[in-house]
Homo-oligomer: A and B are copies of this chain.
Amino acid sequence: MSDTEFDIIRRYFMRQISNRRDVITGIGDDAALLQVPAGMELVVCMDTLVDGVHFPTGTPAAAIGHKALAVNLSDLAAMGAEPAWVTLAITLPEPDADWLAGFSQAFFKLADYYKVQLVGGDTTQGPLSITVQAHGFVPQGTALRRQGAQPGDHIFVTGTLGDAGLALQLRGDAGRELQQRLDFPEPRLAAGQALRGIASAAIDISDGLLADLGHLLEKGRLGATVFVDDLPRSVAFTEAVQRHGAQFRELPLSAGDDYELCFTVPAELLQQLAVAQAHFSCSCTRIGTVEKQAGIRCYTADGEGYALNARGYEHFGVLPHG
């Protein structure tokens, strides 16, 4: 028997445990047939990971399988959505059995944890690249949006910042904890859902705090003050910066690979936030305030203005004039 695309799909991608009742037909027809529950809006996002661009060449297949799904679930988290279905387009130089086993195992481990079902996809031959599209639900009118922050709102982030960025910089020399943060980011789905009705705006930090907070503010032409010494850093991060040098200390401002949430909360809802935090499954730290004046102003704990030489990640640096 020749081991064709259909066999690959069957062998590695049709053994999932999750079997949702809202999936009428999953893999195996021209398209998936799905039922969005009544009263719910559909939330859809798509992210591509390219070898050597979004992960270093040689990254373990399990880390790629986890991350390809996690970065999409992170987008759903930023909308306050509950995940439901995913599709997967996988382009591979050759159908390597070990690689596919590692990839699919990690992909399904994360998918099953969140009861997400793979409902379709495409397998093609070519340079290594993974595109995942995730689908989730939010009750009508409750989605978190990028737009909505108001002057005076408090700015928060989940978890800790800079861990994954530091692991990327140290290339395998970062220690298990930071490497884990880079390879196996945890989408903040519980936090996103708990923030419905509380956060005035939300985004996931995939391009770096400054860049993504900038996206939150730009639609309302707002600005912010950020207290850089308040940015949450893990013990592993602080220790590694002490060991490897101060050039890494700005990573919490600029590194995007942690996939934490950044969100704003009006002062009158801070008490509700305190209650909601019990459902976050992660920490949550206030880092600044939304202001009317455009631009992001950073200050250290002693009130000094903080000069920035860090920018968020952008896929294309400088382009020809078009």
Contact = CB atoms under 8 A, between A and B. Distances in A.
A304 interface: no
A78 B2 CA distance: 27
A33 B133 contact: no
A20 interface: no
B91 A48 contact: yes
Interface stretch (A116-124, A175-183, A224-232): A116-124
Residue of A45, A85, A120, A143 ringed by the most chain B CB atoms within 10 A = A45
A101 to B, nearest CB: 9
Residue of A24, A36, A52, A133 ringed by the most chain B CB atoms within 10 A = A133
A87 B133 contact: yes
B29 A79 contact: yes
A316 B126 contact: no
Interface stretch (A3-11, A160-168, A233-241, A264-272): A3-11
B122 A46 contact: yes
Given A29-B146, A123-B315, A35 B41 contact: yes
B124 A315 contact: yes
Given A8-B316, A95-B316, A97-B322, A44 B122 contact: no
Contact of A131 (B8, B42, B94, B122): B122
Contacts of A5: 314-316
A281 B38 CA distance: 35
A276 interface: no
B25 A32 contact: no
A126 B51 contact: yes
Contacts of A122: 46-48, 131
A53 interface: yes
Assembly stoichiometry (copies): 2
A315 B74 CA distance: 31
Contact of A32 (B7, B24, B44): B44
A204 interface: yes
Contacts of A33: 41-43, 79, 138, 143
A119 B133 CA distance: 12
A314 B131 CA distance: 20
Given A46-B120, A89-B89, 6 more contacts: A3-B318, A25-B145, A29-B79, A46-B88, A46-B133, A129-B129
26 contacts: A2-B314, A2-B317, A3-B322, A5-B314, A25-B143, A29-B145, A29-B147, A31-B44, A31-B79, A31-B136, A32-B43, A33-B42, A36-B36, A38-B38, A44-B85, A44-B119, A44-B135, A47-B122, A50-B91, A50-B126, A51-B126, A54-B124, A124-B315, A126-B127, A126-B129, A129-B129
5 shortest interchain CB distances as A-B pairs: A3-B319, A97-B322, A31-B45, A50-B126, A30-B78
